[in-house]
Chain A
Amino acid sequence: MKLPKFDYACPATIEEAVALLARADGTARPISGGQSLMPMLAFRLVQPSLLVDLRHVPGLAAITIGNDGVHLGAKVRWCDIETSAALQAAQPILTAAVRHIAHHQIRTRGTIGGSIAHADPAAEMPCVAVLCDAEIEIVGSAGKRKIPATSFFKGPLMTALQPDELITGIRFPAWPAQRRWAFEEFARRRGDFALAGIAMFFDMRDDKASNVHIAAFGIGDTPLRLANAEAALNNRPLTEAVIKACCRAGHQEVDPPDDIHGSSAYRRGLVDYLLGQSLRRLAGHSAKAGANAH
């Protein structure tokens, strides 16, 4: 599992990086933390002609928290998110999700930009980005553009990025302090890719859940907003009947694959269960049997 041959460049500016990608006509790949790309190279699943290392490109590693939301530079590492108390206060679902990502020794190098660009269907951050209606900021030889996360993920390991484009940052909309939220996944061991996971938030208005957002990952080619599950909960109180209806809707709504790690029926069952766990905890009912023993 030695890596295939490739050239390596370490540009000093983003413009140089984009130019290198453009010149390679689709055969080059950017690399930052490398935690997703390096295993692909080790298995020779990708064989780029050139790696463009972003390590010296400035201005991509900041965490900016403001009234209009949170902005994370593409090179922000998982450990930076984990250790930012300000971020935990401003956007707690991010910190909660990061705790499930791989292991401590991966989180010292893995970046949010890398994970979003890699688009593994069982990864946590693409789901959180979709859930929160985040905006992906991109630069390429055609200039800058922004893509909503909800249209960014096209399939397993496929995104809307052109070969000469780089993610520069992700913007998350403002997050009210009283927002109710949950992030739950089930993985075989701590740090494994989820067999299924859900993320949700809603705002309480007159004792009813409003602005309901529910997303699931590990259950299809991309993270999915569960529109039917949202509809079952939106503008309704968190009664047991409503919770059950929401879980049932989520259960019907996903169409997960069968694979060696679990059947489609099993993954549906997980979505149902994880939705139930989250909602009952948020409703203040006792949530028995924590989903994640890890």
Chain B
Amino acid sequence: MRTDVEINGKLFSFEVEPRTTLADCLRYKAKLTGTHVSCAHGFCGACTVLVDGQPVRSCLMLAVQADQCSVLTIEGISNDDDLTPLQKSFRKCHAAQCGFCSPGILMSAHALLTSEPDADEDRVREVLSGHLCRCTGYIPIVQAILEARPAYKKQQSELP
């Protein structure tokens, strides 16, 4: 089956089985391996991407269900020249150890701070509770997301 998906601003056309998940399509067809798969049943959040601006578990979505959708992955919020403010904050706060859960968390954090740059600690923890991390104990991740808020507030204030 054919599915046409915009990923990180670029149009892709894939030929997939109906049973191919969006996660597997991103990883093996689009070769965007920054999105990781762990539990494959919708608990751990490692596979989180944004679909039409909303955080979604890509292991719980079929690639064919993403037809005509706009997907943003970790590659789409990164650049080669420098770390983004959110990534810098993660690095400063040591919010990543093995890094396997990090892309999914960065996507959720990016979506949250884009729509709620004033999110408080409770709200950050609530959104982060949809992700499992085994290395950090979450405290540095919460700190990193809170410390990235000014950068997102600045971005929001600069919007026309």
Q: Which residues of A contact B (CB under 8 A)?
A: 1-8, 10, 31, 34-35, 38-39, 41-43, 51, 53, 55, 79, 102-106, 108-109, 189-191
Contacts and interface: CB of A to CB of B under 8 A. Distances in A.
A42 B21 CA distance: 10
B130 interface: yes
Given A3-B19, A8-B1, A38-B60, A108 B42 contact: no
B35 interface: no
B65 A1 contact: no
Given A3-B19, A31-B62, A103-B45, 19 more contacts: A1-B41, A7-B18, A8-B62, A10-B64, A31-B65, A34-B61, A35-B42, A35-B60, A38-B42, A53-B65, A55-B65, A105-B127, A106-B42, A106-B60, A108-B54, A108-B55, A109-B60, A109-B61, A190-B129
Nearest to B64: A8
Residue among A3, A4, A35, A41 facing the most chain B CB atoms (10 A cut-off): A3
Given A6-B18, A34-B62, A39-B60, A191 B130 contact: yes
Given A34-B60, A34-B62, A53-B65, A104 B130 contact: yes
B95 interface: no
A82 to B, nearest CB: 11
Size class of B's contact patch? 20 to 34
Contact of B55 (A35, A39, A102, A105): A105
B48 interface: yes
Contacts of A109: 54, 56, 60-61
A4 B19 CA distance: 7
Interface of B: 1, 17-19, 21, 40-42, 45, 48, 51, 54-57, 59-62, 64-65, 67, 108, 126-127, 129-130
Residue among A1, A103, A106 facing the most chain B CB atoms (10 A cut-off): A103
A39 B42 contact: yes
16 contacts: A8-B62, A8-B64, A10-B64, A34-B60, A34-B62, A35-B57, A38-B21, A42-B59, A105-B48, A105-B55, A105-B57, A105-B127, A105-B130, A106-B60, A109-B61, A189-B129
Nearest to B107: A105
Contacts of A103: 45, 127, 129-130
A106 to B, nearest CB: 7
Nearest to A189: B129
A42 B19 CA distance: 10
Contacts of B54: 79, 108-109
A190 B57 CA distance: 18
Nearest to A294: B129
Contact of A39 (B41, B45, B64, B127): B41
Nearest to B67: A10
A264 B32 CA distance: 48
Given A2-B19, A39-B60, A109-B60, A104 B127 contact: yes
B18 A105 contact: no
A103 B126 CA distance: 8
A150 to B, nearest CB: 30
Nearest to B125: A190
Contacts of B126: 104, 190
B111 to A, nearest CB: 9
B41 A43 contact: yes
A281 to B, nearest CB: 20
A43 to B, nearest CB: 7
Contacts of A55: 65
The 8 closest A-B pairs by CB, nearest first: A103-B130, A8-B18, A3-B19, A108-B54, A38-B60, A39-B41, A105-B130, A1-B40
A4 B59 CA distance: 14
B66 to A, nearest CB: 10
A6 B65 CA distance: 14
B37 to A, nearest CB: 10
